Amino acid sequence: MEQIQIIDAKDHVGEVVTIGAWVANKRSSGKIAFLQLRDGTAYFQGVVVKSEVAEEIFQTAKNLNQETSILVTGEIREDSRSKFGYEIGVQNIEVIGESHDYPITPKEHGTDFLMDHRHLWLRSSRQHAIMQIRNELIRASYEFFNKEGFVKIDPPILTGSAPEGTTDLFETNYFDQKAYLSQSGQLYMEAAAMAFGKVFSFGPTFRAEKSKTRRHLIEFWMLEPEMAFMHQEESLEVQEQYVAYLVQSVLDNCDYALHVLKRDRSVLEKYTQLPFPRITYDDAIKLLQENGFEDIEWGDDFGSPHETFIANSFDRPVFILNYPKAIKPFYMKPHPTREDLVICADMIAPEGYGEIIGGSERATDYEYLLEQIRAHGLDENEYSWYLDLRKYGSVPHSGFGLGLERTVTWLAGIEHVREAIPFPRLLNRIYP
Ligand code: 4AD
Ligand code: MG
């Protein structure tokens, strides 16, 4: 008997096959039992008809509990009533692992309860759909950057530098020295860009941020491209092409997940149209002030109501350009004519999902960078390797970081970033 996965059922119509699955749900009467089966690749229905199987098989089916694992054998048939399109007419069931009193029942559960049971909650169809979108974004990212000639480079996780400021660092002992968990691989990616031209990284990053919002994780995954001989305007084009590619890949390859999540495809389709609008920081402040935001003035960073208002003024992701130097990290290129600005951009997602990309052109001048490192209270000895990049053939270069979980949250159309990563690390939560 051939053992197959549910996702491949379409290639086996009319054949008798075996599938290893879990019982997600079950309905039965005296004559027929409907098993909702899942095997990690998809969900579909198993139909057990009392008059067509041995009595003990029908009794086994009737007694199956939620999340019992089974080997089920039967004939694959078309099932036009389900979105999946196929079902299995069950002939035999072999119980592999019993399950009793599975804690996550089809009724509603509170968030804390679900988070405490994250190791089991991952099995639900909604979480499964979200993880499929996450997986697609990772796959499509590698595809995009490989297609565009980028080299994948892996920066270290244990580092001695703090690119994004010293306030939210996780510190750890590194034998007799101090080390930090990486906030961003950027500085290493700049070194890599000087060696390979166009590079990208994908890895976990850590921020000890005391923010308890629906957009903040303590541990999140970032894609960080860095490009030598590239100014900011060209980098913005790479960014919008990349994000449009991600959206298109989800539309092309995650139809079922979008259906489970009730995410409207026509909303996502708008986000594949280029270019994305651009607005300067100066104009964004004006826009807010003209629309009744009295709590913000030039020099402030945007809070999430501000980002949402700006995003709602456009029908696609929007770039906010050139922020005040005082609220951005030390490495950004100064504006050529405005001393108080740096050459940078954040990409703000539509529908209130907030910033998904932060990026900039990088400062290339040795003396300027040294001055900035000192002005930010950083130890110049720890950055001497980084300063070397400006001593030996410094070139214009730009890069950016896309937050994977924020992007998943947006494209999946879900409420909270904690569902966009398998095991979220949150303020006050490191379990399970
Ligand atoms: O804007 P950020 O801090 O930029 C950097 O780290 C740069 N060094 C990247 C670079 O130029 N190579 O972070 C980049 C993105 C944000 O736009 C956001 O999507 C995500 O990372 N991000 C977070 N996601 C979840 N939880 C958090 N606490 C996040 N902080 C940033
Ligand atoms: Mg940022």
Model pLDDT for residues 223-277, shown as the tens digit of each residue: 999 999 999 999 999 999 999 999 999 999 999 999 999 999 999 999 999 999 9
Could you give the residue range(s) of every CATH 3.30.930.10 domain in the chain? Answer: 118-420
Give the pLDDT of residue 232. 98
State yes or no: pLDDT of 161 exceeds 90.
Answer: no
- Rounded CA-CA distance 276/189 in Å is 26
Q: Considering every ligand atom, which ligand is closest to the CA of 399?
A: 1
Helix then strand count (H, E) for the chain reads: 13, 17
State yes or no: pLDDT of 164 exceeds 90.
Answer: no
User: Residue 104 is encoded by which pair of tokens?
Assistant: 């996550």
Give the pLDDT of residue 311. 98
Ligand 1 geometric centre to CA of 253 (Å)? 26
State yes or no: pLDDT of 300 exceeds 90.
Answer: yes
- Give residue for tokens 């009392």: 50
State yes or no: pLDDT of 211 exceeds 90.
Answer: no
Q: Considering every ligand atom, which ligand is closest to the CA of 347?
A: 1
CA distances from 356 to 234, 344, 417 (A): 18, 14, 12
Ligand 1 geometric centre to CA of 364 (Å)? 22
Assign domain 2-97 to its CATH superfamily: Nucleic acid-binding proteins (2.40.50.140)
Closest CA to 222 of 401, 55, 62, 1: 401
Give the pLDDT of residue 107. 87
Q: Fold for domain 118-420? A: BirA Bifunctional Protein; domain 2 (3.30.930)
Pocket of ligand 1 (CB under 6 A): 163-164, 184, 186, 207, 209, 216-217, 220, 222, 224, 355-359, 399-401, 403, 405-406, 417
Kindly state the percentage of the chain with pLDDT values over 70. 100
Q: What is the rounded average pLDDT for all residues in the chain? A: 97
Question: Cβ distance 411 to 129 under 8 Å?
Answer: no
Model pLDDT for residues 49-101, shown as the tens digit of each residue: 999 999 999 999 999 999 999 999 999 999 999 888 999 999 999 999 999 99
Could you give the residue range(s) of every CATH 2.40.50.140 domain in the chain? Answer: 2-97
Question: Cβ distance 192 to 199 under 8 Å?
Answer: yes
Model pLDDT for residues 361-404, shown as the tens digit of each residue: 999 999 999 999 999 999 999 999 999 999 999 999 999 999 99
CA distances from 219 to 98, 189, 322, 418 (A): 35, 19, 27, 10
Model pLDDT for residues 358-372, shown as the tens digit of each residue: 999 999 999 999 999
Give the pLDDT of residue 1. 78
Give the pLDDT of residue 45. 97
Contacts of 384 (CB under 8 A, 6+ apart): none
| Ligand 1: residue whose CA is nearest its atom 2 | 358
